[in-house]
Amino acid sequence: MTSLPNFTDSLSQLIACSSISSTLPSWDQGNLEVIQLLATWFEQLGFTIDIQAVPDTSNKFNLLAKLGNGEGGLLLAGHSDTVPFDENRWQSNPHQVLNQDDKFFGLGTCDMKGFFAFILQVTKDLNAKQLKKPLYILATADEETTMAGARFFAKNQHIKPDVAIIGEPTNLVPVVMHKGHMSHRISVEGKSGHSSKPNLGINAIEIMYKVIGQLIKLKETFDTNYKNDAFDVPAPTLNLGAISGGDNANRICGHCHLDIDLRSLPGMSDAELINWLSDALKPLAEQYPGRITFEEMHPSSPSFEQKKQEQSISECFISVAEEISGHSCCAVNYATEAPYIQQLGCQTIVMGPGSIDQAHQPNEFLAHSEIDKTEKILLSMIQRYCLS
């Protein structure tokens, strides 16, 4: 049997497997190399391995590894892909770990291939015969774009662990709430013509100007009427992210597009957001029949909230996570795979090493100081939910 790598070597091997997810075909890659590497390691440790192709993706796969038998247990989950990178802003090769200044630099060290390197280390000495409940490890595909891997897993798996930890970088603070995310493209169809005769055309930019005015009013409504103080940005947000239109200064603009981003609070449904958006644009849609449309750019991600269970403190996962981590639970503004994992019927938290401030940034890193803390937390969770 080939000896298993130590933490530094396993992290280096994972980072060397490029697995970028992007909506741009020129950047988008498969993740099979990462999945096969993880499968090789965990199979050596006695885990049963299940690799599944994710439908409607290009060469993307999920991995589920299981050690032990029975019901319940612990699921440790994370995504196997990374975002693209700007090579000119990196001071080292993004796909080679640079161990320097008590930090591991590399694309995915923090977000979030490093989590799997930690899992490998803490499972090296586990004996399946000693486990009273199973330990599951899930590596998903395409989290950074469509979350297709987690969506597929939630719909097609029949496991039901007692609890799940998603190892996104939270500085090892348990996250029990986050906002949802959806994005839409608003399109205005005008009528082009010569700029010297504006009355013979319909300027799409001028209509979009009015659309933006309605969206600003909707933002103000969110700020005034909807708040959740668990978040540092307590209201739902609406961001005007990108705009394009027209082709020449001396032509009446015939087309204009605006891409917007909406982040909802827990308890808000996609249908509510779409209704608010429709109501905001309705007066203009009636004024300019057939000229204003909006469509979802990619599948939305729901908000997430893990409420405290009506159990004893020793059985409530939130209480256990706070006790083991030494941190109070919190809410974050970004989206994760947590709502999909929660659909398995398990208590779910997001908690992992590293800071979200490093994610999606040039010179992404994972600090050496995270190693002992992360391994102790994972070992404590395995002890409580699989060995006790």
In the numeric block, which tokens belong to residue 311?
């159990």
- Count Cα neighbours of 81 within 13 Å in the Cβ-side half-sphere: 29
The sign of the torsion formed by the CA atoms of 75, 80, 84, 86 equals positive
- Residue 178 vs residues 81, 216, 301: alpha-carbon distances, Å: 21, 24, 11
Catalytic position from the list 81, 142, 162, 322: 81
Give the Cα-Cα-Cα angle 169, 174, 176 (nearest 5 degrees).
110
Cα 150 from Cα 142, distance rounded (Å): 8
Strand partners for 99: 104
Cα 384 from Cα 388, distance rounded (Å): 5
Residue 368 burial (C-beta neighbours within 10 Å; 0-12, 13-18, 19+): middle
Is 81 annotated as catalytic?
yes
Helix or strand (DSSP H, E) at 216:
helix 204-225
Query: Within 10 Å of residue 2's Cβ, how many Cβ atoms?
Result: 7
Catalytic position from the list 111, 142, 143, 337: 143
3-state secondary structure of 373: helix
Is 375 annotated as catalytic?
no
Which residues have a catalytic role annotated?
Answer: 81, 143
